[in-house]
Amino acid sequence: MKLSYKLKVFANKGKIAVLESLANFWVRKVNEYIVLYWRMPDWEIKLAKPPAEFRGSGSKLENLASVKAWQMVRAVRKKKRGPKVKPVLKKIEFELDETLFAFGDFTTKEFDLWIKAYSGEKGKRIAIPVKKHRRLNYWLKRGARFQKTVKFKKINGEWYAVVFLSPPPKEPKGDVPVVGMDLDYTNGAVDSAGRVWFDERWVNLRQRTKWRLYPDGNNPLKQEFNRLAKRLVNEYGCHLAFERLELRGKRGRSRKFRRDYKNLPYGHLARRVKVLAGLEGFRTVRVNPAGTSQTCPVCGHRERRNRKGEEFRCVRCGFSAQADVVGAVNIAIRAGQKHGFRPVVVRAVAEGWRRRSIRPPVERFVVWTLLQSRPPADFRGCDPPCHAYPVSYG
């Protein structure tokens, strides 16, 4: 796992001209080698790096460009779905490895990081001034180390240096709760603590962006999920569980369903949470989604009649709640059963087990109520009405 941070470059006109020249050389060479590698058979493309006889034989920068072209062709050839189209590098950028750059061991009053980069001339380097920011300093103080690669890229007329960090190893945390997350195109995201993370603005945003294309990857829905991922990890401080959804193809899905879920990036939130939670020592797990919104979390009865729209009411025991909250609670319970975590459930579910004298499906669980003003930073240190309950029978 690696972290990447984009730092703005503060260079004079002469150094900017050098960066422009290197970027033009890089883009031209990468596209030339893509044409060469695209003609090669699939069995040879499976190699991790291009053979020595097909690698750049000029400068070190050309050698790196040939490796970049090989990686781009290899990524397209490995695709299992969709057409395989020859890639083209259009971005104004270039990459340097440890032989072509070094971080300066000095700072100035205005700039706290200098990059001594290859200038295109043998034995000559230029010093590129950049500024660190809060998040980068946060990880450096925690023991993260710079990786031996840097990328320079031009975005909207401005040059940036992308640096990569190796975070310090984090021991996985075991005896902590797990919060279940249920994703829906109406409510966006609902967790097993009963929190609905989006309001009617989510529906409006989804409808406005339904038929828009975002080739640069700046999908507003993904941006909302990125913000939510940070909040989930920072506020809950525990494991998180998601459904293992594969919404591809037409089989078993109506046209209305496909149209409604067309632009909803289901897997993006789980992938983002996995990265952020892993940095803090928490796990992100996925469970079988079958029947999570039709199964009663109290008595375990599963039937299609239990759910009617956004309302859930068990036809056997009479338990009622919001359907997405029920789905999230079932996800947390399944994660607890499979991985031994303590699932976080709303108080109504725990009260249902107690009143009906039903044995809970897990040995220990954490109860949460929406009456609490805000979520605790860590469930292990929260005050009532949030409690960790061992199951007892009397």
What is the token pair recorded at 318?
A: 């009479």
Asked whether residue 51 is domain-assigned, the answer is yes
The pLDDT, as a whole number, for residue 205 is 83
254 shares a domain with 137: no
Counting the structural domains of the chain, the total is: 2
Model confidence at 181: pLDDT above 90: yes
| Per-residue confidence band for 391, with pLDDT thresholds at 50, 70 and 90 | very low
State mean pLDDT over 8-23.
94
pTM for the whole structure: 0.76
Say yes or no: 134 and 188 in one domain. no
Q: Is the pLDDT of residue 249 over 70?
A: no
pLDDT, tens digit, for every residue of 342-378? Answer: 999 998 899 999 888 888 888 888 887 654 434 443 4
Task: Please state, in angstroms and rounded to a whole number, the distance separating the CA atoms of residues 209 and 212.
Answer: 5
Mean pLDDT of 235-250: 80
Is 172 within a domain?
no
17 plus 157 within the same structural domain = yes
User: What is the pLDDT averaged over residues 75-95?
Assistant: 88
Sequence letter at residue 51: P
Among candidate residues 125, 144, 166, the one where a domain is terminated? 166
Q: Are residues 116 and 203 in the same domain?
A: no
Together in a domain, 223 and 355 = yes
Boundary-marking domain end, from 146, 166, 186: 166
Mean pLDDT of 226-247: 88
Question: In whole angstroms, what is the distance from residue 121 CA to residue 225 CA?
Answer: 45
Q: At what angle do helices 200-208 and 220-236 cross, to 10 degrees?
A: 150
Task: Of 73-77, 133-137, 255-259, 382-386, give the lowest mean pLDDT range.
Answer: 382-386
Residues 6+ apart with CB under 8 A from 303: 294, 315, 316
Structural domain range at position 348:
177-390
Helix (H) or strand (E) holding 343: strand 342-346
- The answer to whether residue 229 is domain-embedded is yes
User: To the nearest whole percent, how much of the chain has pLDDT over 90?
Assistant: 47
User: Distances in Å between the alpha carbon of 147 and those of 2, 94, 118, 128, 164?
Assistant: 9, 16, 17, 17, 5
pLDDT at 247: 60
Residue 184 domain flag: yes
What's CA 247's distance to the chain center, in Å?
Answer: 18
Residues 304 and 363 in one domain: yes
Residue 34 within a domain: yes
Report if residue 213 sits inside a domain. Answer: yes
Q: Are 213 and 145 within one domain?
A: no
pLDDT value of position 382? 37
Same domain, 317 and 267: yes
Task: Report the range out of 166-170, 265-269, 305-309 with the highest average pLDDT.
Answer: 305-309
How many CB atoms sit inside 10 A of residue 79's CB?
10
One domain, residues 283 and 382: yes
Residue-wise pLDDT tens digits, 25-57: 999 999 999 999 999 988 888 888 888 888 877
Same-domain status, 142 and 9: yes
Domain membership flag for residue 171: no
Across 142-152, b (16+ Cβ under 10 Å) vs e yields eebeeeebbeb
Final residue of a domain: which of 133, 166, 199?
166
As a whole number, the mean pLDDT across the chain is 84
Task: Give pLDDT tens digits for 331-349.
Answer: 999 999 999 899 999 988 9
What's the token pair of residue 271?
A: 């992938």
Query: Angle at CA 183, nearest 5°, toward 178 and 186?
Result: 145
Q: Is residue 286 part of a domain?
A: yes
Does residue 184 share a domain with residue 158?
no
| Euclidean distance between CA atoms 165 and 137, whole angstroms | 11
Indicate if 63 and 105 belong to the same structural domain.
Answer: yes
